[in-house]
Amino acid sequence: MVSSKDVAKHAGVSQTTVSRVLNSPEFVKKPTFDKVMKAIHDLNYVPNGHARSLVQNKTETIALLSGPLHNPFFVDTTSAIVHYANEMGYRVNVQFVNDQKLNEAYATAIEHKVDGVILSCILLDDPIFEKLTRMNIPFITYNRKHKNNEYFVEIDNFEAGYLAAKHMIEQGHTAIAWVGGTLTVSTFNNRYLGFLQAIKDHKLSLPEQYIINTDASKQAITHAFHKLMQLEHRPTAICAGADSLALFLIDVAIQENYTVPEDISIIGIDNVDLSSHGSIQLTTVGSISEQNLGYLAIRELIEMIENKKNSCIQITESVKVFHRSTTQKI
């Protein structure tokens, strides 16, 4: 591997000068500059980023621990995060993690002394929170948040669940089911609580079988859908805990020869880009703002990194219903 020393020898200058040519060329005379540049070109020299990171103790790299891309929410956020970060001169180390392999992912992120970490799937009582704090690594969570209630960007999940149910009620539905994810996740938990509150406020009955909180796999969702539709008094509407779940439900419904919304109304939460596609037109609840959560998160994170500002980030975006075509009056 050709190093700056090789370049120096080839150009007849010191290694220091080579370094200067690359990092502060204003301090080096034109002729020397040219000599060095020629040598760099002749030898196809490329500086070693690791050596630089080692001595400078910064990496211009951000670690992104995202949920899986088969969830369109993470497609939107990952895209926004990587684009903005690149724009600002940071590289992004992406890992798509499931809750099991979380610790492994944390470890490799920390080993590489990234300038910041952005987490989508932190657990309520995740020890990583304290760890990152103690190591003084800037970080932010989006989508989910930690029980410490700091450094997060989220939508108003309770309100989202509430509005989803309210929307169905306003459409005249009274038999409304809930299909959400694990309640150990702050996001799903709050959305669920919002849903319950709306049901309660409107004095609707909610049979136990109408509530399904499960893992977010396609299999599980398929199973949930079957169970709901085979009930004696089957629901006429389903509030899904996330657009990804809603999209699964719709997929299953269609494949089982139900039509949406004629046979059953379905609403999601998140307002992912895909939901507005002409073929989908998913009714959903999402942030009022144009920017997705990933964008907000990376913007704040880079702000933290560069301004070293310590003011705690707590952003909760307001939400509204986006009424499209997967729900209708009964």
Binding site for a copy of itself (CB under 8 A): 1, 44, 46-51, 53-54, 57, 59, 68-70, 75, 78-79, 82-83, 86, 91-96, 101, 107-108, 110-113, 131, 134-135, 247, 250-255, 273-274, 277-280
Q: Output the CA–CA distances (angstroms, integers) from residue 44 to 9, 22, 23, 39, in the order listed.
A: 14, 14, 18, 8
Residue with Cβ nearer DNA (54 or 254): 54
| DSSP code of residue 312 | P
Residue with Cβ nearer a copy of itself (206 or 280): 280
Please give the structure tokens belonging to residue 53. 């990171």
- Binder of residue 227, out of DNA, a copy of itself, none (CB less than 5 to 8 A by kind): none
The number of C-alpha atoms within 13 Å of 122 and in the hemisphere containing its C-beta is 29
Residue with Cβ nearer DNA (24 or 259): 24
In the complex, what is the shortest distance from the CB of residue 189 to a copy of itself, in angstroms, rounded to a whole number? Answer: 27
Chain mean position to CA 307: 23
In the complex, what is the shortest distance from the CB of residue 281 to a copy of itself, in angstroms, rounded to a whole number? Answer: 8
In the complex, what is the shortest distance from the CB of residue 212 to a copy of itself, in angstroms, rounded to a whole number? Answer: 20
In the complex, what is the shortest distance from the CB of residue 7 to DNA, in angstroms, rounded to a whole number? Answer: 7
Cα dihedral value 314, 243, 190, 139, nearest 10: -30
SS3 196: helix
Distance CA 155, CA 278 (A): 25
The closest alpha carbon to 141, from 150, 56, 133, belongs to 150
Provide the b/e sequence for 267-294 (b: ≥16 CB within 10 Å): bbbbbbebbeeeebbbbbbbbeeeebbb
In the complex, what is the shortest distance from the CB of residue 1 to a copy of itself, in angstroms, rounded to a whole number? Answer: 7
Residue with Cβ nearer DNA (3 or 214): 3
- Binder of residue 83, out of a copy of itself, DNA, none (CB less than 5 to 8 A by kind): a copy of itself
Residue ranges in contact with DNA by CB under 7 A: 1, 3-5, 12-17, 19-20, 22-23, 27-29, 31-32, 45-48, 51-52, 54-57
Residue entry with tokens 């003011």: 311
Residue with Cβ nearer DNA (34 or 125): 34
Residue with Cβ nearer DNA (23 or 217): 23
The closest alpha carbon to 245, from 281, 282, 210, belongs to 282
- Binder of residue 91, out of DNA, a copy of itself, none (CB less than 5 to 8 A by kind): a copy of itself
In the complex, what is the shortest distance from the CB of residue 312 to DNA, in angstroms, rounded to a whole number? Answer: 28
In the complex, what is the shortest distance from the CB of residue 45 to DNA, in angstroms, rounded to a whole number? Answer: 7
| DSSP code of residue 308 | -
Please give the structure tokens belonging to residue 5. 């020393």
